[in-house]
Amino acid sequence: MENTFKIEQITHLVLAQYHRWYQVYEIPFTDNTIANQKDILSDDVEIISQAGTSKGKNGLEERLKVFTGWRNAHHVQKTEIKLLEDGNLSLEADILYQNIRPDNSKYSYKLHYSTILRQRANDLPVFTLVSLQPTDLVEEFKFDEAYTENRVKSFMHYWLYLMECPNYEKFKELLDRNFELNLSSDERISDFETFKTWIDSPLKIKTSSHIYKNLKIVENNDDTIGVSVSFDWKGIDINNQQMIAETRHEWQLSNNIEERFARMKQMKVTTIKPFQIVENFK
């Protein structure tokens, strides 16, 4: 049972990195966004595409120059993550890629990604292999930006992982300087010490995981992103009792595109199904 929780927690780590993979291509390049892209790659990463094979992350700036001025959108449609026997992680994914170039030519493909990530102690995994192959050509399409969704999902999965496997210092990267969390208990948290106390909750949970649903994302005019999402939570307490809960979250994320992740500025939580002990997980 606890191995299932481990896989679900690792899945958050992988998807936090995978949704970061696309972001550099979906906004104008800067030194920081390119550095953030290098941050998700191992030094010996191998990238295989129709354009050929590249090894290592040195020279990434040159390889990205070809995409200058392009409008790109990567809509992730399906992912499958596995823990391999050697301790590495595999991610298989299908996406819809949309592209408009400076001469206004338009292209769209369905692509399949096969990737391997190396786990790191107390850190996010890094890609060691990325292989992408087109699987279908899309003749007619309406361009829909995907940066905002990829930005939100990378943040959300990392946030959920840290909720499940708390690391107080790492949360600092995900919290806005002026954050405010309004919990379903009517408690309001706006400083890090109180936040830390809340994370170390009195429920005494051995392990837990979250599954999201009903995700809605709105890009605001003030460089923030509105998120509405529900979470099905399950956990095992220190007495080995199985527990479930369901909550609805309304988030406002501040978004400095130069940083690795968006940040939680405001959060409001509503309880849909209170924490309760169950005989068996459904």
Q: Where are the domains of the chain?
A: 23-145, 159-278
The pTM score is 0.96
CATH number for the domain whose boundaries are 159-278? 3.10.450.50
Query: Within the chain, which residues score under 50 in pLDDT?
Result: none
pLDDT value at position 64?
92
User: Does the CA dihedral 100-105-107-113 come out positive or negative?
Assistant: negative
Question: What is the arrangement of strands in the sheet containing 224-237, beginning at the earlier edge strand?
Answer: 188-189, 175-182, 263-278, 242-254, 224-237, 205-219
Check if the beta carbon of residue 250 is closer than 8 Å to that of residue 172: no
Distance CA(263)–CA(155), nearest Å, equals 8
Which residue bears the tokens 């400076």? 102
pLDDT value at position 199?
86
Paired sense of beta strands 175-182 and 188-189, if any: antiparallel
CATH number for the domain whose boundaries are 23-145? 3.10.450.50
Distance CA(275)–CA(194), nearest Å, equals 21
pLDDT value at position 3?
82
Domains 23-145 and 159-278 share a fold: yes
pLDDT value at position 204?
83
